[in-house]
Structure 1
């Protein structure tokens, strides 16, 4: 039996296997990035942050722990159901489509860990930038933490087998029609699962064009989680701060 699903960001993210494959993500690095970023932006103690496409809430939880009022939103109902167990008076989670504005204003909107560029329609990417703008208060900052597409393409590993919790994930990576694509195949309990991740290979120039159309101003560009200078060929991240 084979399970094959193509609208990947509404299905793959909702499976437990997604979280199994990526369970080795470095929380120490993520926490240090949040410390560095909030300090750089000088977000006031008790300030409000929207974690856009928050997944199970790992960034939102830490941001709340260090003193911020945080709302985490995601399209994945399963992820939000999981995250809700951690809610408190200053931490809330909600199912929400990031193409649309949320119903509150924030000191900062964070879109982290390449949680952008999934959409098939170009207008949805622009709508997301416009929504972030709408979600910011007068003094708020938007942050998109994206991959450096040029670096990723130059260093692409075409095929890999990764075994996590006894599941053998077969991964194939390639570039197709302006997207960086990852095919993910694995078998659990005799069922063969096929998933695919597709993310637009946006460059800094592409984002600059989107920002101009959305009427937002790019303030800073960094190339890693320590907020060092961005270099097209050597930086692994593309961290953009705008308002």
Structure 2
């Protein structure tokens, strides 16, 4: 199994994404609205990155645990806020005792692992969330999003003085989206390759059912527009049975 994400998220790519994707109140509003969070609810954010969702949730009074395998991201999060329980660990190594009311996997983090790894992650979520609790998966690499009009040329992305160049290809034998990144900041440069496992929505729904989830709903974003072919983003909600 590829573990590219364990070495990819160092300072330069993390700082780029921190600038490009600041905290989103709309995302948190979506979680509160669809999972009906009650005051003091226990929330798991995995992987949490540098904490942009965890910190906002904690500011709204929820008891939040953020888990991420990037040491740089977790250290940045700890410096930023002491209101969250920060844990440096693989996204599958989460408490499996049903202590959480809600779990979120935001920022296109689902799909970092291959099929087996993704199944194990969903199984871990099924054990971490109490019956009746819910999850939100925020995914940009379903087959319905990636394949319509797929091309390998992407315009450079700029965040302040950091520029990210990306070239993507699609491996039909493994259903994987492979993107080579080059991050440049002055004379500093970081290169890395991201490998995303691509699932159809139907396949993902079957995996969730096996992991103990039901009542699956599909949206194109936090504005509640239904997900459709070609939507660049899937926000999926499900309830632990």
Matched, 1:113 2:107: yes
1:71 is matched with which residue? 65
Matched, 1:196 2:193: yes
2:95 is matched with which residue? 102
CA contact (8 A) 1:143 1:240 kept: yes
Q: CA RMSD in A?
A: 2.4
- For normalisation by structure 1, the TM-score amounts to 0.85
Say if 1:157 and 1:67 are closer, same or farther in 2 by CA, change over 3 A: farther
Say if 1:211 and 1:172 are closer, same or farther in 2 by CA, change over 3 A: same
Match of 2:7 among 4, 11, 14: 11
Match of 2:55 among 61, 67, 84: 61
Q: 2:32 & 2:133 partners in 1: Cα distance?
A: 12
Give the secondary-structure state (helix, strand or coil) at the position aligned to 1:115: coil
Alignment: residue pair count: 233
For structure 2, the residue ranges without an aligned partner over 5 or more in a row are none
> Residue deviations 1:183-226, cap 9 Å, x none?
11356676764311111112211201212332322432222121
Q: Equivalent residues in 2 for 1:102-141 (5 A)?
A: 102=95, 105-120=99-114, 122-141=115-134
Match of 2:16 among 21, 30, 33: 21
Shift of residue 168, structure 1, vs aligned partner: 4.3
2:218 is matched with which residue? 221
- For normalisation by structure 2, the TM-score amounts to 0.85
Give the secondary-structure state (helix, strand or coil) at the position aligned to 1:11: helix
CA contact (8 A) 2:138 2:235 kept: yes
CA contact (8 A) 2:18 2:50 kept: no
Shift of residue 157, structure 1, vs aligned partner: 5.1
Shift of residue 59, structure 1, vs aligned partner: 0.5
Say if 1:61 and 1:192 are closer, same or farther in 2 by CA, change over 3 A: closer
Shift of residue 10, structure 1, vs aligned partner: 0.7
Shift of residue 26, structure 1, vs aligned partner: 4.3
